[in-house]
Amino acid sequence: MKKKLLVISIFFLIIGFVSVVNKSSASTAEGTLGTGLQTGLEGVTKAAPTVSPVAGAYTSTQTVTLTASGATKICYTTDGTTTPVCATPTTCTAGTALASGGTVSVAVATTIKSAGCYADASTGPVATSLYTFSCATPTVTNGTVSAYSTCAITCNSGYTLSGSTCNANSSGGGGGGGGGTSASSCTGVTYSAWTACVNGRQTRTVATQTPSGCSLTSVQQIAVSQTCQVASSTDPIIDQDNNQEAPPSSGSSDQNTPSLASKELTAKIMFDEKVLTGEIDQKLTTRLSGRILLQTESFGQAWYVDPVSQERFYLADGPNAYQALRKFGLGIKNSDIIKIPVGLESRFTMLDTDKDGLPDKLEEAIGTDLNKADTDNDGNNDGTEIRNGYNPNGTGILTFSTSLADRLKGRIILQTESRGEAWYVNPVDGKRYYLANGEAAYQIMRYLSLGISNDNIRKITVGTW
């Protein structure tokens, strides 16, 4: 019954429509109708492309077939963020054009976004398919191993790895010298240029390998992706050479509580600076919002420019800074904080028991194993995965949000759904640095700060606790 009504409705719609257009422009009218009612009249159903094999976790390189019936072409992207858009029935405004039934090879964690293009140049619904990889332990006696490219390949005794193939050792080949699997590892690799930084991530491809046919090490493989930042312009007014001078001290080694003396000193320094502060430069203040500043012409006093109040607050030493900065903390959900890349500063000197590049305290905060360099056993240590934007706790890449990081630049954020862990979002790179304790606060003050002249810092309002 409903179907009948629909047919009758469409009929009258057509009659009504045709009757209002001038007969001389009938072809225009038909064209419009054809487009508007295409699905019902011509039977072309616009659906998201199907992918085969389906999205999921795999242990070897996959050839993914994209199919969209009725589509003239498919546009797809693999950067994980760009939505494919058709320009014409066969070309893309965003993405790469592919015939329906065409294939895309996937060897590292990749999100394929695909959509069909139709005769009217419209873009169909988008399919989003995430392929991740984990390492199976290949049982190999001979032949080519189609393992996920970053996984270590071990050949059985009597076989030697060449590229991704285990070849039987020749009986007379004594001179080679027990090379085993390492003999064919690449000694040199060059890469293409990095792609533009999108959502805190950029990628590149392996251009050349030396010697030819060699096997990429896991570090060489994973180095095709990294976390990144959009470069910010330098500030000619400010002394950028901030690493010569250290802030006063890291404080006592195990105390996170500022001493009474430092509280009195803080009050005195803030009072003195208030007196010395002259006309406020709002432009300068805004530019330095969220930064930690070091007064390089004095004894390296550190200040935090609170982005909310646009006032500066004195940070006497590590423990004092740790306590003080937490007061500016903004609560954040765990589901949001993971969208901000973790920052690593190689000059930080903090205990790293398993030598994977992540300090113990940081590992506690992100849930990796502080006694195990490769928490998820995928052949890449935790530090390498964080630095390159991969998940150290499992398969797949981390998905970042530049817009969220931008909003939080310079802020202190607190994980209110966990144990109140505090992080400083460095306004320079949009990455979060873990404020574990006074020691971590000191390292941040020392290495993520900006030197500033007395003349300039005294154009920024001194806050009141």
Cβ closest to Ca ion, residue 126 vs residue 358: 358
Question: For 122, which DSSP code?
Answer: -
- DSSP readout, 317-339? SHHHHHHHHHTT-EEE-HHHHTT
What's the token pair of residue 276? 């010395």
Task: For residues 113 and 94, give the distance between their C-alpha atoms in angstroms, rounded to a whole number.
Answer: 11
Closer to Ca ion by Cβ: residue 33 or 57: 57
111 binds Ca ion (CB under 5 A): no
CB contact at 8 A, 180 and 169: no
Place of tokens 């003050």: 445
Interface pattern 274-313 for Ca ion (x via CB under 5 A): ----------------------------------------
Per CB under 5 A, the list member of 317, 374, 421, 429 interacting with Ca ion is 374
Q: How far is the CB of 409 from Ca ion (least distance, A)?
A: 27
Q: Considering the complex, what minimum distance in angstroms separates the CB of residue 328 from Ca ion?
A: 28
Number of H helices, E strands in the chain: 13, 25
The count of other CB atoms within 10 Å of the CB of residue 229 is 17
What φ, ψ does residue 64 adopt, rounded to 5°? -95, 125
Cα-Cα-Cα-Cα dihedral sign, residues 186, 187, 192, 196: positive
Cα dihedral 239, 303, 440, 420 sign: negative
Residue 455 DSSP SS3 = helix
Reference 282, options 459, 463, 449; nearest CA is 459
Q: How far is the CB of 374 from Ca ion (least distance, A)?
A: 4
Q: Side-chain half-sphere of 213: how many Cα atoms within 13 Å?
A: 6
- With respect to Ca ion, which residue has the nearer C-beta, 169 or 353? 353
Q: Which stretch binds Ca ion (CB under 5 A): 7-15, 168-176, 246-254, 367-375?
A: 367-375
State yes or no: residue 317 binds Ca ion (CB under 5 A). no
Cα(336)–Cα(400) distance, integer angstroms:
9
- Residue 215 or 380 with smaller CB distance to Ca ion: 380
Q: Which stretch binds Ca ion (CB under 5 A): 24-32, 41-49, 80-88, 378-386?
A: 378-386
Distance CA 250, CA 349 (A): 12
Select 112 or 440, whichever has its Cβ closest to Ca ion. Answer: 440
Binding Ca ion by CB under 5 A: which of 273, 354, 421, 429? 354
Candidates 82-90, 265-273, 358-366, 416-424; binding stretch for Ca ion (CB under 5 A)? 358-366
Stretch that binds Ca ion, among 79-87, 92-100, 306-314, 346-354 (CB under 5 A): 346-354
- Residue 441 sits in the site that holds Ca ion (CB under 5 A): no
Choice between 368 and 456, CB closer to Ca ion: 368
Q: Which of 266, 380, 415, 449 binds Ca ion (CB under 5 A)?
A: 380
The stretch near Ca ion (CB under 5 A) out of 38-46, 98-106, 228-236, 366-374 is: 366-374
The reply to whether 352 sits near Ca ion by the rule CB under 5 A is: yes
| Interacting residues of 348 by C-beta distance below 8 A, sequence separation 6+ | 359, 440, 443, 447
Judge contact between 135 and 145, C-beta under 8 A: no
Answer yes or no whether residue 378 interacts with Ca ion by CB under 5 A: yes
382 touching Ca ion, by CB under 5 A: yes
Q: Which stretch binds Ca ion (CB under 5 A): 147-155, 233-241, 257-265, 373-381?
A: 373-381
Question: How many other β-carbons are positioned within 10 Å of the β-carbon of residue 433?
Answer: 23
Inter-residue contact 118 to 34 (CB < 8 Å) = no
Q: Token pair of 9, please?
A: 């409705």
Nearest to 458 by CA among 270, 235, 324: 270
User: Which residue number is nearest to Ca ion in terms of Cβ?
Assistant: 382
The piece of 252-260, 314-322, 376-384, 404-412 that touches Ca ion (CB under 5 A) is 376-384
| 368 belongs to the binding site for Ca ion (CB under 5 A) | yes
- Closest to Ca ion by CB, 245 vs 356, is 356
Between 273 and 378, CB nearer to Ca ion? 378
Binding site for Ca ion (CB under 5 A): 352, 354, 356, 358, 368-369, 374, 376, 378, 380, 382
